[in-house]
Each structure stands twice: as structure tokens, then as C-alpha cells.
Amino acid sequence: MRVRHHLLTLLAISTALPVLASESLAAQVADPDPSRFAETFQGFAQWDAENFVPRDGILFIGSSSINFWRTAESFPDLPVINRGFGGSHASDATHWVRDGVLKYDPAIVVYYEGDNDITQGKKSPQVMEDFRDFVRAIRNAGSDAEIVFLSIKPSPARMDVWSEMQKANDELRAFTESEGGLHYIDVGSDLLGRNGRPRPELYVADGIHMTPAGYEIWDRIVGPVLRSLH
């Protein structure tokens, strides 16, 4: 009877595994088509052909929070390159890693993604896998650049998914602590008030993007890390 019980248990487990796998796959949200940014990267290439691009620079890449950050003004003493492309997902950053990162051979990469991903239904494990893919793409290309991950920020218009963003941030922090050359910066806590909600004065009318006052906080938090690494 005991043997039969074990056999029935193994059968139940083996039967359940395909179901669990299919449920896991079903939970995955399809990545958007990265080719929608082809014109954006053509524009970057055109700009590069007409302007000075620093070597061993500090390259910022990510969604609109990077795109709207006036990094050259914020860090005039550092060789910064901004390749933010609004509306992007972490999967887009990996797809465009050659044109958006590797071609510049940067000493430091500052990365911000995950905001749009989670807002559009992705869960933290899927976002984390895209983060890992980004690091693998850089390392497999032979680059030893320091990679600085900025935490996903809280936004008034996206507080319904803030708990999932926090999960991704916790996993991202643990990931950066497990490998050399990776760094995590919490850029979200100082955007919150004592009530745990985003401070309204730090966001523009859409409740997503930051005002200059919000970016001043990021400048204060991120600047010292970049100067210590560069």
C-alpha cells in the first residue's frame, strides 16, 4: 500500500508539472515590438556622426525617466551620453543594446527600466529576467562596464502597481549584490512623503514624469555614486 501511495503521489506531481508550466507561460506578457524604436536609434546614429561622443563615458539608457533627464546639465563634470527612449521596456533595452550601449564602449552604464513593463501587466520575475538578459548581453560582448541599476520609482498615477514594482526592486537589489560590477541605487524613497505616497510637487500633471525638483533629488543621489565609480 505504501508503494502504491508513493506511485500515486509521483503521478500527481508529474501530471501537475505541465499544468504549472503552462500557467507560468500564460502569465508571461508578450514583449512589445522593439522595431518601433528603429527611427529613434537612426536619429541617435545621425547625432553621433555630427557631434563629439566621449570615450569611456557614462551612458544612460532606459525609458522616459532617462529621456527627460538633462544629464549633461546635471553632471557637467562627467562624460555623459543619454540614450533614453520613452515608452521602452526592459526587453527593448536588451534588443537595442548594441546600438544603444556597446557601440559607445562606456565605462559605466546607468539603467532605468521596468516602469512601463509592470504598468502594462508584467510581473517582477519576467522583468527580472529581462534585467538579467541585459547584463548577459553586455558581458557576452566582452564589456566590463560598471552597470548601475536605478530602482523603479513610485508615481502617483501608477500606485495601483507599486507593490509589484517594489517586488522587482527587492529582487533587483539582491541580484546586484550577487555579482561584481553591478550596483543598485534607490531613487524612489526620497520621492515619497511621510504618508508613503509620492510627493505631488515632484511630478508633472500626468502623475508619471518628474518635475525639475524630482530630478534634483536624483542628481543628489546618483551623482556621488557616478563620481566614485568613474
Digit-coded pLDDT (tens) for 138-164 = 999 999 999 999 999 999 999 999 999
DSSP bridge pairs for 150: 185
Element containing residue 183 per DSSP (H, E): strand 182-185
The model's pLDDT over 56-88, given as tens digits with 9 standing for 90+, comes to: 999 999 999 999 999 999 999 999 999 999 999
Q: Are residues 119 and 164 in the same domain?
A: yes
Contact yes or no for 137/97 (Cβ under 8 A) = yes
pLDDT at 136 over 80: yes
Mean of pLDDT over the chain: 91
* Residues 6+ away with beta carbon under 8 Å from 58: 75, 78, 79, 80, 81, 106, 107, 108, 109, 110, 226, 230
Q: Are residues 123 and 218 in the same domain?
A: yes
Residue 24 domain boundaries: 1-30
Average pLDDT estimate for 77-104: 98
pLDDT at 121 over 80: yes
Q: Are residues 199 and 120 in the same domain?
A: yes
**What sign does the dihedral 115-118-124-127 (CA atoms) show?**
negative
Q: Are residues 154 and 113 in the same domain?
A: yes
- For residues 88 and 62, give the distance between their C-alpha atoms in angstroms, rounded to a whole number: 7
